[in-house]
Amino acid sequence: MEALLIVDVQIDFCPGGALEVPKGDKIIPIINQLSEQFDIVVQTQDWHPQEHTSFASTHDNQAPFETINMPYGQQVLWPDHCVQGSEGAQFHPDLNTKNSQLIVRKGFRKQIDSYSAFYENDGETTTGLTGYLKARDIDTLYAVGLATDFCVKWSVVDGIKEGFDLHVVEDAVKGIDIEGSVDQAWQEMLDQGATKVSSSELLD
């Protein structure tokens, strides 16, 4: 069984949002078309408490996009974004969520970030998504959404580790792109065994 995995298409990741992905909203019409064609659609939603450890503002003398060491490894610091209950944390109003059967919220623990749909950034704390997908006999995922170089990449790499076949829809993802991180993300995803597909191969 196949499912569409829509990663973090939220107001804060789209132009004008707190952590905008350039042209992040351009992928929305394609995602809407895809979600009409999949029987199973799953979404993620970045969902941070105030003063989350991933926010630069939580730390003294740190600016957004600087990196610090956390107990679980390196962490990029971000502008405050996707705060629980805030407008910016909502899905983009143009995203059609009516076909979505499950929404996985992530990043809700103050002390740890969570890019991946499967595991928090310690690589150990599960979101429960694997169990849900396996219980529904899903073995193949088509990944779309934001951002290619962070939450999409981490979800794809973890999804492969969890035993799923992963296809990344190249015209339905967009990245933040910090010093070549989008190219690097594609390299990593393909190295791990993901395949790159275009929406035109999937749409009727």
Q: Which of residues 35-64 bind Zn ion (CB under 5 A)?
A: 46
| Residue 26 designated active-site | no
Token output for 130? 């694997």
CB of 3 to ligand VGL, least distance (A): 19
Q: Which residues of 1-24 are buried (b: 16+ CB within 10 A; e: fewer)?
A: eebbbbbbbbbbbbeebbbbbeeb
Instruction: Select from 6, 141, 146, 202 the one that contacts ligand VGL (CB under 6 A).
Output: 146
Pattern 5-34, ligand VGL, x by CB under 6 A: ---x----x---------------------
145 membership: H or E segment, kind and range: strand 140-146
Q: Which stretch binds ligand VGL (CB under 6 A): 27-35, 116-124, 146-154, 189-197?
A: 146-154
Instruction: Select from 150, 157, 158, 172 the one that contacts ligand VGL (CB under 6 A).
Output: 150
CA-based torsion, 24, 25, 29, 31: positive or negative: positive
CA-based torsion, 151, 157, 163, 169: positive or negative: positive
Tell me which of Zn ion, ligand VGL, none is bound by residue 47, counting a contact when its beta carbon lies within the kind-specific cut-off of 5 to 8 angstroms.
none
